[in-house]
Amino acid sequence: MINDSQSLGRLALGSYLSCLVYVPLWQLRLSPHDGYSLGFHLLMLLPLLLPLPGMLKGRPYTHAWSGFIACLYLVASLTQLWTAREQFWWPALATVLLLSWLLASSYYARHRGRELGLGLKKKN
């Protein structure tokens, strides 16, 4: 297990950037869905860009909430894995990338947050 925050940050950023490249490629080219317009696809890909500034700066809070966005796309990839068996490898790769983003960002946020003294305040 990786324990230092710098390595976790690199892993989280690398997996996020991989998703930022692969998910649009997968949705628009590798596994296009009939019946959806290009505008709809672009609108669905917009949430991927939201954490970009904070992820590039290594902010633990951004890494923490970006997991919610990763989960949205993870549900889509798992659904396609289940329903489109003939195109197994594209959603399988997306699932691996999204899980690595989710887990690495969560561990980075926890580890780096502790280093910085951040945390949830306990009620007395």
- Specify if 45 maps to a domain: yes
What is the average pLDDT value for the chain, to the nearest integer? Answer: 88
- Specify if 121 maps to a domain: no
> Range of 49's domain?
5-115
- Specify if 62 maps to a domain: yes
- Specify if 110 maps to a domain: yes
Q: How confident is the model at residue 31 (pLDDT cuts 50, 70, 90)?
A: confident
Start-to-end CA span in the chain (Å): 34
The total number of structural domains that make up the chain: 1
Give residues with Cβ within 8 angstroms of 37, minimum separation 6.
none
- Specify if 83 maps to a domain: yes
CB contact burial 60-87 (16+ within 10 A = b; e otherwise):
bebbbebbebbeebbebbbebbeeeeee
The model's pTM is: 0.86
Q: How confident is the model at residue 15 (pLDDT cuts 50, 70, 90)?
A: very high
